[in-house]
Amino acid sequence: MGRTNGGDGIVPAKEQLQQISKELTKASQMHKRQSEKVQAISRKEYAKGGGVRKPKMPTGSGMKRPTKQGAGMTEKGIKAYRAANPGSKLKGAVTGKVKAGSKAAKRRKSYCARSAGQMKKFPSAAKDPNSRIRQARKRWKC
The whole-angstrom separation of Cα 112 and Cα 136 is 10
SS3 102: coil
**Residue-range definition of the domain harbouring residue 113:** 67-140
> What are the start-end ranges of the E strands in the chain?
3-5, 10-12
Residue 94 CB: number of other CB atoms within 10 A?
21
Quick check: is 113 in a domain?
Answer: yes
Q: Whole-model pTM?
A: 0.57
Count up the domains in the chain and report the number.
Answer: 2
**Do 76 and 135 belong to one domain?**
yes
Quick check: is 61 in a domain?
Answer: no
How much is the pLDDT for 1? 47
How much is the pLDDT for 53? 65
Quick check: is 10 in a domain?
Answer: yes
The whole-angstrom separation of Cα 98 and Cα 112 is 15
**Do 71 and 42 belong to one domain?**
no
Which residues of the chain are under the pLDDT cut of 50?
Answer: 1
Q: For residue range 22-48, what is the model confidence (pLDDT) as tens digits?
A: 999 999 999 888 888 887 777 766 666
Cα Dmax for the chain: 84
Answer for the pair 64, 71: CB distance below 8 angstroms, yes or no.
Answer: yes
